[in-house]
């Protein structure tokens, strides 16, 4: 459904990562007005390089979306451009593989902040803007351990992603009559440079391509996908 988000105002948090870049590229190709957050300067530079001639079509905002103040400033900056957010893709997140006795309070809080708090703060900021227009699309990223029965050595990560899944389902119930859909992706391992570096010996044949996931996100952002809400979109290959 290319072009079906033409002119929509889209915010992709974490649009500088391996998955985020693919989603940003897809939305730009579909004619959306795309905003993306970045945290380190190198991330913004990498996204500009990846976008090439289309780099000027992406509005980049430095923001720590785990911070309530920063999220408020981010959405205010987008508003100031006359572009209230209509589509929100919460792609920012983190991963931790550690046994419970090796997971200290700081690590636990970091997982909760990066995965759950970031999604909550951005959803909370986006919802009043979407309600005003009685239209909106929100896409979060859960995980297989967070959606299923957890996983050994992933207690903090799985718990934070379970919070994302429950947030998604709760908001879908709260917002369905406002014309706002809220869904969550539940991917297996994504084929990104970071994952290849972290797992150099892994069999990548069943890993998901970021571009294929971006296709799903692009569909969930359309008018036609309005009847899909509160859903865990299970993504796997093989």
pLDDT confidence band for 238 (50 / 70 / 90): low
Beginning with the edge strand found earlier in the chain, give each strand of the sheet holding 136-141 in spatial order: 58-62, 33-38, 9-13, 87-90, 136-141, 180-187, 232-235
Catalytic residue among 38, 75, 120, 157: 157
Q: Which CATH class is domain 9-235?
A: alpha beta
Three-class SS state of 141: strand
Q: Does residue 220 carry a pLDDT above 80?
A: yes
Q: Which residue has the tokens 């150099």?
A: 200
Q: What is the pLDDT of residues 144-196, one digit of tens each?
A: 999 888 999 999 999 999 999 999 999 999 999 999 999 999 999 999 988 99
Q: How far apart are CA 123 and CA 17, in angstroms?
A: 20
Q: How far apart are CA 36 and CA 20, in angstroms?
A: 9
Please name the residues in contact with 205: beta carbons below 8 A apart, sequence gap of 6 or more.
238
Q: How far apart are CA 175 and CA 187, in angstroms?
A: 24
| Crossing angle (nearest 10°) for helices 155-175 and 118-133 | 10
Q: Does residue 2 carry a pLDDT above 90?
A: no
Q: What is the pLDDT of residues 104-140, one digit of tens each?
A: 999 999 999 999 999 999 999 999 999 999 999 999 9
Domain ranges of the chain: 9-235
pLDDT, mean of residues 8-33: 97
- Cα dihedral 54/58/63/64 (nearest 10): -70
φ, ψ of residue 185 to 5 degrees: the values are: -85, 140
pLDDT at residue number 134: 96
Provide the terminal-to-terminal Cα distance of the chain, rounded to the nearest Å: 25
52 is catalytic: no
Q: Does residue 216 carry a pLDDT above 70?
A: yes
Pure H helices in the chain: 18-29, 41-51, 68-80, 105-111, 118-133, 144-147, 155-175, 193-198, 210-220
Q: How far apart are CA 64 and CA 178, in angstroms?
A: 28
φ, ψ of residue 36 to 5 degrees: the values are: -140, 145
pLDDT at residue number 148: 84
Percent of the chain at pLDDT exceeding 70: 98
Q: Which of 22, 31, 120, 104 is nearest to 67 (CA)?
A: 120
Q: What is the pLDDT of residues 44-53, one digit of tens each?
A: 999 999 999 9
φ, ψ of residue 35 to 5 degrees: the values are: -115, 145
């Amino acid at each position: 459904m290319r072009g079906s988000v033409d002119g929509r105002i889209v915010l992709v948090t974490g649009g500088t990562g391996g998955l985020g870049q693919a989603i940003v590229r897809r939305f730009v190709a579909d004619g959306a007005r795309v905003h993306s957050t970045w945290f380190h300067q190198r991330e913004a530079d990498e996204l500009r390089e990846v976008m090439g001639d289309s780099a000027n079509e992406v509005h980049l905002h430095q923001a720590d979306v785990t911070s309530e103040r920063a999220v408020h400033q981010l959405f205010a900056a987008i508003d100031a451009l006359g572009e209230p957010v209509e589509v929100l893709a919460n792609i920012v997140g983190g991963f931790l593989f550690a046994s419970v006795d090796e997971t200290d309070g700081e690590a636990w809080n970091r997982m909760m902040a990066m995965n759950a708090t970031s999604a909550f703060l951005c959803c909370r900021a986006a919802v009043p803007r979407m309600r005003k227009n009685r239209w909106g699309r929100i896409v979060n990223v859960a995980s297989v351990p967070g959606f299923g029965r957890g996983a050994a050595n992933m207690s903090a990560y799985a718990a934070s992603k379970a919070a994302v899944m429950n947030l998604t389902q709760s908001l879908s119930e709260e917002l369905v009559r406002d014309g706002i859909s809220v869904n969550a992706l539940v991917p297996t391992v994504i084929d990104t440079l970071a994952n290849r570096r972290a797992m150099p010996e892994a069999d990548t044949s069943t890993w998901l391509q970021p571009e294929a996931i971006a296709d799903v996100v692009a569909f969930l952002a359309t008018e036609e996908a309005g009847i899909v809400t509160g859903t865990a979109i299970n993504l796997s290959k093989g």
